[in-house]
Amino acid sequence: MMGTCRKIPKTWSHWICALYSTSALCIFYFSIPTLKFFCSFLPMEKCSLKSSMMLNLDNRIDAKLDLLSRQDVQTCTSWKAPIIWQGMFDPNEYDQEHKSQGSSVALTVFAVGRYLDVYLKDFLYSSEQHFMLGLPVTYYVFTDTPEKVPNIKLNPQRSLKIIKVERHKRWQDISMMRMKSISQLIESDIRNHSTHVFCFDVDQLFTGRFGSEALGDSVALLHAHYYRLPRWLFTYDQNPKSNAYLEMGDFYYHAAVFGGSWRSVKALADACHRSIMEDKQNNVEALWHDESHLNKYFWLHKPSRILSPEYCWDANLGSRSDIRVRRLMWAPKYYNKLRIS
């Protein structure tokens, strides 16, 4: 490294050495917690659009997004999709627009095994305080023990349906096979009742507005642990034998939250399920299971809307100036006790 720096003009050497040093430190990002704070200062790319009128609009209200209000973060993508951050939008305008459009939302969540006991009640209760308030919402709880689903008092225009599913022997299979279940449910029920679908992991807690500004045709979420890291550190599946193989993508997306119109979510779920089953036939398992397949899908089919890490934050990352509101938080993880081997 030092030899490389000596070959570069002195005016640039200090900056390039600093960049190399930063990248090297980020290699240990996940093994040395104190470096997470250091890596949070890495700059994000900037939105190249001068006006939200230049976006490929999901909704007409998107034309009022203030892309320049957040100079500290990236507010749009190279394919002209918005990245939603606090301060870019007027929540009341979004709510009024979606009410006038007759938008309605299906929320799917899997609570299998002890995950139901530990997480589901708090997830549902917090959702009633913060998720898509003012819009019709139907909860679809997938579980192997329907009798244990808690009785939560729901707000007007909100309902809950329970779908019994098989409990697989391995948690990895539970994670991957949810795509098939989501697709089947959209075909049999959701498409007849809801305009949009959001799919969540159950080990999360709503702590702030998760509102209609998140609705779009195809919605992905920036992973809180990766959104400021260089792309070469993203943990895409690097096995060429897997359908999830991806050498380099746009962003690293978190499978804990994804959504969109029911048609788009069904297309995603069908594609991921096909890829997972083909891998199984070839005795291949993607690095991060359904999340690896989801990242490959969003590389091939760009999301029309991206949610910032405000929409799924990990408290272990600490406080950051760019995270002005925490809308959904990771709940404490007890993998050793809850996951099936």
Q: Are 136 and 158 in contact (CB under 8 A)?
A: yes
Both tokens assigned to 174? 């539970």
Nearest-angstrom CA–CA distance, 151 and 161: 11
Check whether 220 is labelled as a binding-site residue. no
- Is the CB of residue 314 less than 8 Å from the CB of residue 330? yes
* C-alpha span between 5 and 12 (Å, rounded): 9
CB 80 within 8 A of CB 190: no
Is there a binding annotation on residue 235?
Answer: yes
Mention every residue, 6+ apart, whose C-beta is less than 8 A from residue 90. Answer: 64
What residue type is 40 in one-letter code?
S
Contact 296, 237 (CB under 8 A): yes
Q: Which of 97, 285, 291, 310 is catalytic?
A: 291
Q: Which residues pair with 258 in a beta bridge?
A: 199
203 belongs to an annotated ligand binding site: yes
Distance from C-alpha of 340 to C-alpha of 139, rounded to nearest angstrom: 25
φ, ψ for residue 222 (rounded to 5)? -70, 125
Task: Check whether 284 is labelled as a binding-site residue.
Answer: no
Amino acid code (one letter) for 47: C
- Which of 308, 231, 225, 241 has the alpha carbon at shortest distance from 37? 225
Q: Is 291 annotated as a binding residue?
A: yes
Reported as type and span, the H/E element at residue 274 is helix 262-281
Contact between residue 219 and residue 210 where contact means Cβ atoms under 8 Å apart: no
User: What phi and psi values does residue 227 have, to the nearest 5 degrees?
Assistant: -65, -20
291 has catalytic annotation = yes
The Cα–Cα gap between 284 and 287 comes to 9
Would you say 273 and 180 are in contact if contact means Cβ atoms under 8 Å apart? Answer: yes
| Residue 214 annotated as binding site | no
Residue 115 assigned to a binding site: yes
DSSP conformational letter for 55? S
271 marked as binding residue: no
CB 268 within 8 A of CB 297: yes
Would you list which residues are annotated within the binding site?
110-112, 115, 201-203, 223, 235, 291, 314
Catalytic residues: 291
Would you list which residues are annotated within the binding site for Mn(2+)?
201, 203
